[in-house]
Structure 1
Amino acid sequence: MKSLEKTLKSVSENPKYIFRLTIQGVMVGIFAGLMVCLYRFLLAGSEHVLRDYLSIINGNIIYIVLFFIALAIMGLLVDFLTKWEADSAGSGIPQIYAEVKGHMEANWTKVLISKIVSGVLTALGGLSLGPEGPSVQIGGMAGKGIAKLFKGSKTDELRLILVGSAVGITAAFNAPLAGVIFVFEEINHGFDKTLVFIALVSAIVSDFISKIIFGQHTILNFPVLNIPLESYWMLVVLGIIIGILGYVYNIGMIKSSDFVGKLKIPSWLKFVLVFVVSGVVALLIPEISDGGHFMMDMLGVAIPSLGVLVLLLVLKYLFSMFSFSSGAPGGIFLPILVLGAYIGAIFGSIVVPAFGWQHELIYKFIIISMAGFFASTVRSPITGIVLLAEMSGSTESLVAMVIVSLIAYVVPTLLGNEPIYESLYDRLLLKKNREFVKKPSKHVLSEYIVPLDCNYVNFKIKDIPFPKNAIVVSVIRNGKYVIPDEDFNIKYSDQIHVLTDVNDYPYVRQEIEKLFGG
């Protein structure tokens, strides 16, 4: 009964409840922000160590042998860590998605330790994996830790996991708005006023911490010029190209992951081979090693020739596909942005000389294409647009980014391609194939928004086939709470609060999302 009372408090604008959640949000911002900043600092240091070592071992057989021995040991350590905590493998974003949906119950302390340590090892090994996906999981697990500390309802725990996930993007990119939007557009797929407020509080706190540690400069410092309005038609061409390439990227990443998953080799041998191959790549083509910071820095210094750009784009894609398919802890967020940047650089290197424009206009296409490629692969265009605006510190490219992102979003969607993280989420659940373990009974309050095209608009609650183990406890309409009876008519944009047990939550959420087209 006490658990039920705690949960029901979250459907009323109780000042004490909101104040308590705000304090928790601040604590998540501090704890998750520090954890993600620590991870970001260690990864940057690892990449520098790798680059420095590569500069001194060239031609020295003893150093090269020691390098590959170290790589083999790192592969064994990553294998140990991913067995010790299986939920730390891979990107981290599908795992957060599964936890919020109720399909997983990760051990937050083990995930934090394993994800940070194994992530540092993959960076030292030079694998083409990004830090942002793991940062989302690290932030989410830090949020879960704060929730456990306060011993609140399961609803509050899920909220703080989402809040921590927003902190992950914020601290990784110095982009608080993009972090909050990413949670709603990509993970939660719904609108919760309380969650918005707490996420913004946490994002601002973590952004302040990140700026203290890493400085206030933006991630990208490219010059931003304007494309002549009469030439905006070429943005349509760019959007179509990016959409097709995003489709190819998603197909390749999923197919390669499925292929590696079917190989009948021990996991320890797989990781050793992956790290050894990564070492060969680092020696022969160091430009494509690590998540992509080096390739981005290359663009900031000078735009390489067209042939070099194409070669690096293809090799980076292939190496990213190879690295991610291994299941090593690491994300695809940064590699996606880097590939988008090189697509824009190639496009700009062709059209800018052809139209006689200033050479610096190529950087405009780089920024636009990063947002577009993110939209075509992740299928979260708003997040991509806001993220690039915050990363570049400029809103002058907003209209161009919107045009390219929308077209890049539509093309793979029309081709029947799923967003990359949803595909990875489906495979994560299939791979886990866990037996259901009954948890101690707790109440979970979930929120669903009635869309315009919902088949049950103007239906009475009693006529809507809600799962029988779920109760509609309140509805927010026009900003006001309503306690509905069974004859209450559901309207467009209603926010419906549904109460269920934690053991039924995964099934209930899945069924209600089908009802409302979630």
Structure 2
Amino acid sequence: MKEVQNTLKSIVENPRHIFKLTVQGVLVGIFSGLMVCLYRFLLNGSEDILRGYLKIINGNIFYIALFFIFLIILGLLTAYLMRWEKDAMGSGIPQVNAETKGFMDVNWYKTLFAKIVGGVFTALGGLSLGPEGPSVQIGAMAGKGVSKLFKESKTDELRLILVGSAVGITAAFNAPLAGVVFILEEINHGFDKTLVFIALVSAIVSDFISKIIFGQSTVLSFPISNIPLSSYWLLIVLGLVLGLLGYAYNVGMIKAEDLWAKIPKLSLEVKFVSVFLVSGVIALIIPEISCGGHYMMGMLDVAVPSLGLLLLYFALKYIFSIFSFSSGAPGGIFLPILVLGAYIGAIFASFFIPICGLENVLIYKFIIISMAGFFTATVRSPITGIVLLSEMSGSTESLVAMLIVCLIAYVVPTLLGNEPIYEALLDRLLKRRQEEFTPEPSRHVLSEYIVPLECKYIGVEIENIPFPKNSIVVSVIRNGSYVIAQSDFKINYGDQIHILTDVNDFPYANREIEEIINGR
């Protein structure tokens, strides 16, 4: 036991170990950043190719026939690719979440390849899927690759996977702070100081690479004006609307997945060919809603369409986004969620601005606020949404307004008993994968948990806390000081507790420990 304690102390406090992780964080920033930027570049090119071809079709029957033959081939290739590496299906964020919780051990290089190529196929096919979820998985798998190169412990491997996930958001949006906040709020659900430090280093490196390739301009270039204080009641109404629509989006997504599952004997090939063909029809009839949503965002930047068109585009994008993602095709919902949020804001502003006699330029303020609010309503990560939109717009002037809207948008679906979309998708993924769990060679995972105020075991001795039998509390950091945890040690609010678990027990032990620590 003494030997284990000394080892753990060196891991937690040893400056050399922190320095080594920092160097690895820089390498993750470079490798993950390059992979995500490559993915982003290929998707942009694929969308340009699709839209360029749609322009030259111009009613030509021969060209249209070629287009649909091409879509059938894309559907078959995507199905083959997903059979070859099924962990590349869907968004990728639930898979990363499952891996960091110990439920999966993904082949990093196969997933990296399949995710990038599969994303190119879906972009060429015009499916309403975003690049950001896949970017998180691409970054995470690149981070795992770096850890394998250095033959790191399972604990540090999980850290580098999380660091790579932060790079995915950073390189996709040019938003390093949002990337770090995202992994803390949405994936890790805890505060690990070492993880935060390394993730910040990695995010800065990847952001530098991204800006060299794509430039330094912010993703959104909307003019920002302040909403008069006398009109702040509109934010309450907007928050309620976003909360209800976020609830509807999440329910619709899960119901659509259930509908796909109910189709008897539906092969992956038939499913993906059908999805690609439907996408082709949509691209011919209403190309504005094709692909992830960059084109729809660009429409708002040039000149906001009429209220009728805004409603039409929103409704069709909502349906097409759910249809595309629920099929399991490789791609995410991050961008479609933000685009739908933008259109909700535009619709809301187009209706209320004339009624309230406000300046027309305020429509862009409502668009930005609604993007953060709808993201919060669906994903249930308000801090990420606020930081992300602040970085995307290059302005912090909307912070208070976004806070009001996001808090309301968070509360409404929560009160309605709706699960956050990525948690619901994770639960479904774990149910599908439960039977396929393969034990790994015995290794230890060192996890860190922060004791919150609501923990009912504050002031209780460790020996009297019902931690899983296969887990050992080995150390605690209190007020910056390292303490070896004896059986009679009493935990306090704010303690950073380090718990050692075998890698094969970690998935289930981690869930139990989180329930104990968080007072559920």
**What is the TM-score when the length of structure 1 is the normalising length?**
0.98
Give the match for residue 393 of structure 1.
394
Is residue 218–residue 393 contact of structure 1 (8 Å, CA) maintained in 2? yes
Distance 1:340 1:49 in 2: 27
Give the match for residue 483 of structure 1.
484
Matches within 5 A, 1:340-379: 340-379=341-380
1:249 has 2:254 as partner: no
AA matched with 1:228: P
Cα 1:514–1:267, aligned 2, differ >3 Å: closer, same or farther? Answer: same
3-state DSSP of counterpart to 2:436: coil
AA matched with 2:464: D
Cα 1:10–1:277, aligned 2, differ >3 Å: closer, same or farther? Answer: farther
Give the match for residue 221 of structure 1.
221
Cα 1:149–1:195, aligned 2, differ >3 Å: closer, same or farther? Answer: same
Distance 2:213 2:354 in 1: 41
3-state DSSP of counterpart to 1:12: helix
The CA RMSD measured in Å over matched residues stands at 1.3
Is residue 104–residue 437 contact of structure 2 (8 Å, CA) maintained in 1? no
Give the match for residue 171 of structure 1.
171
Give the match for residue 125 of structure 1.
125
Distance 2:4 2:445 in 1: 9
Distance 1:46 1:354 in 2: 42
357-366 or 215-224, which deviates more:
357-366
Distance 1:304 1:91 in 2: 30
Cα 1:307–1:7, aligned 2, differ >3 Å: closer, same or farther? Answer: farther
Distance 2:382 2:59 in 1: 46
1:280-315 Cα shifts (integer Å, max 9, x gaps)? 000001000000000000000000000000010000
Give the match for residue 435 of structure 1.
436
Distance 1:208 1:323 in 2: 33
Distance 1:483 1:318 in 2: 55
Q: CA deviation at 1:58?
A: 2.0
Distance 1:42 1:241 in 2: 36
Give the match for residue 460 of structure 1.
461
1:380-407 Cα shifts (integer Å, max 9, x gaps)? 0000000000000000000000000000
AA matched with 2:450: I
34-43 or 491-500, which deviates more:
491-500
Q: CA deviation at 1:438?
A: 1.9
Q: CA deviation at 1:199?
A: 0.2
Distance 1:279 1:468 in 2: 55
AA matched with 1:120: V
AA matched with 1:499: L
Give the match for residue 297 of structure 2.
296
3-state DSSP of counterpart to 1:433: helix
**What is the total number of aligned residue pairs between the two structures?**
517
Matches within 5 A, 1:153-168: 153-168=153-168
3-state DSSP of counterpart to 1:350: helix
Distance 1:225 1:155 in 2: 46
Distance 1:500 1:53 in 2: 55
1:12 has 2:12 as partner: yes
Distance 2:439 2:245 in 1: 44
Q: CA deviation at 1:189?
A: 0.1
3-state DSSP of counterpart to 2:493: coil
Give the match for residue 449 of structure 1.
450
AA matched with 2:249: Y
Distance 2:447 2:90 in 1: 27
Cα 1:499–1:326, aligned 2, differ >3 Å: closer, same or farther? Answer: same
436-445 or 275-284, which deviates more:
436-445
3-state DSSP of counterpart to 1:197: helix
1:111-142 Cα shifts (integer Å, max 9, x gaps)? 00000000000000000000000000000000
Is residue 5–residue 474 contact of structure 2 (8 Å, CA) maintained in 1? no
Distance 1:134 1:272 in 2: 21
Is residue 11–residue 474 contact of structure 1 (8 Å, CA) maintained in 2? no
1:317-339 Cα shifts (integer Å, max 9, x gaps)? 00001001110000000000000
AA matched with 1:192: D
AA matched with 2:83: K
**What is the TM-score when the length of structure 2 is the normalising length?**
0.98
Matches within 5 A, 1:281-320: 281-320=282-321
3-state DSSP of counterpart to 2:13: coil
1:33 has 2:33 as partner: yes
Distance 2:123 2:243 in 1: 29
Give the match for residue 79 of structure 1.
79
Give the match for residue 424 of structure 1.
425
3-state DSSP of counterpart to 2:475: strand
Distance 2:437 2:391 in 1: 42
Distance 2:223 2:168 in 1: 27
Is residue 457–residue 490 contact of structure 1 (8 Å, CA) maintained in 2? yes
Cα 1:362–1:10, aligned 2, differ >3 Å: closer, same or farther? Answer: farther
Matches within 5 A, 1:135-154: 135-154=135-154
3-state DSSP of counterpart to 1:499: strand
Is residue 6–residue 153 contact of structure 1 (8 Å, CA) maintained in 2? no
Give the match for residue 409 of structure 1.
410
Q: CA deviation at 1:5?
A: 8.4
Cα 1:101–1:6, aligned 2, differ >3 Å: closer, same or farther? Answer: farther
Give the match for residue 50 of structure 1.
50
Q: CA deviation at 1:13?
A: 1.8
Which segments of 5 or more consecutive residues in structure 1 lack a partner in the other structure? none
Distance 1:21 1:4 in 2: 20
Which segments of 5 or more consecutive residues in structure 2 lack a partner in the other structure? none
Cα 1:395–1:308, aligned 2, differ >3 Å: closer, same or farther? Answer: same
3-state DSSP of counterpart to 1:434: helix
